[in-house]
Amino acid sequence: MIININSISVAAANRLNIIFVISKVLTILTVIIAGLIRIGKGHTQNLQNSFEGTTKNPLTVALALYSGLWAYDGWNCLNSVTEELKNPKRNLWLSIVLALPTVIVLYVLTNISYFTVMNTAELLNSKAVAVTWGESVLGPVVRVLPILISISALGSANASLFASARYCMVSAQYGYLPEVFACIHIRRLTPVPGVVLQGTIAIMFCLPSNIEDLINFFSFAAWIFYGLTFVATLCCKFTHKDAERVISVSV
């Protein structure tokens, strides 16, 4: 479905993403408000000594860090579609400055809400943390949570596909991929080959049954390339000083 929508219309993909984001934020706010109510009622036993028993194993800490960073991944999507943004000098800056702190606050408060119901062991052993939380707090309404979680996952997939398809298109324009991936639909102006390629790769990665291994692999690989991109940006800042830039940041 997501592949078809991103192939048919950029506007439709954007509108769908807005719907997904609104649904996700409303779900998170519901969890947060319910958690704050429970804190007001005195359910704070799991919030005391929060870091007790924290591991000192560097490998475990690194994997936890990558898993945490994966939850916030997506901050780079707009950077990939700068050419399609209206007034990127203003809107890109605002989206980064406003969106990242907002997401951090929402996610931290959501986790605090979870701990008003579960202790650390119960949270780690839960197959679906939000559902476990909902069974204790929402009662029969918990049946809606899996649907809302699925909508949230679809939103993340839609945004990732929207951005990654542009990676393919630009890579092909510079000769790093076959020329066919630089093509866009003659009427719809969507990068159909890039969308299909990224969608196919995503489906292949979904075949393994262990989602934790997939997250660990993706996070490790992604942040290597994020780091390389950062280094390359610094190098270009000094080696291509006169290059035309949509947005320039002082270093």
* 3-state DSSP of the chain: CHHHHHHHCHHHHHHHHHHHHHHHHHHHHHHHHHHHHHHHCCCCHHHCCCCCCCCCCHHHHHHHHHHHHHHCCCCCHHHHCHHHCCCHHHHHHHHHHHHHHHHHHHHHHHHHHHHCCCCHHHHHHCCCHHHHHHHHHCHHHHHHHHHHHHHHHHHHHHHHHHHHHHHHHHHHHCCCCCHHHHCCCCCCCCCHHHHHHHHHHHHHHCCCCCHHHHHHHHHHHHHHHHHHHHHHHHHHHHHCCCCCCCCCCCC
More confident residue, 38 or 51: 38
pLDDT tens-digit series, residues 175-186: 888 888 888 888
Average pLDDT over residues 23-44: 90
Q: pLDDT at position 13, please?
A: 84
What's the mean pLDDT in 68-81? 76
Give pTM, 2 decimals.
0.80
| pLDDT given for residue 242 in this prediction | 80
Q: What pLDDT does residue 29 have?
A: 93
What integer pLDDT is reported at residue 112 of this predicted model? 92
Q: What is the pLDDT of residues 96-138, one digit of tens each?
A: 888 888 988 999 999 999 998 888 888 888 888 888 888 888 8
Per-residue confidence (pLDDT) for residue 218, from 0 to 100? 77
Percentage of the chain lying above the pLDDT 90 cut: 8
* Residues 130-166: tens digit of each pLDDT: 888 888 888 888 788 888 888 888 888 888 888 888 8
pLDDT at 33: 93
**pLDDT at residue 251, rounded to an integer:** 65
pLDDT attached to residue 32: 93
- Mean pLDDT over residues 204-231, rounded? 80
pLDDT > 70? residue 209: no
**Considering the chain, what is the average pLDDT of its residues?**
83
Residue 85 has pLDDT above 80, yes or no: no
User: Is 63's pLDDT higher than 90?
Assistant: no
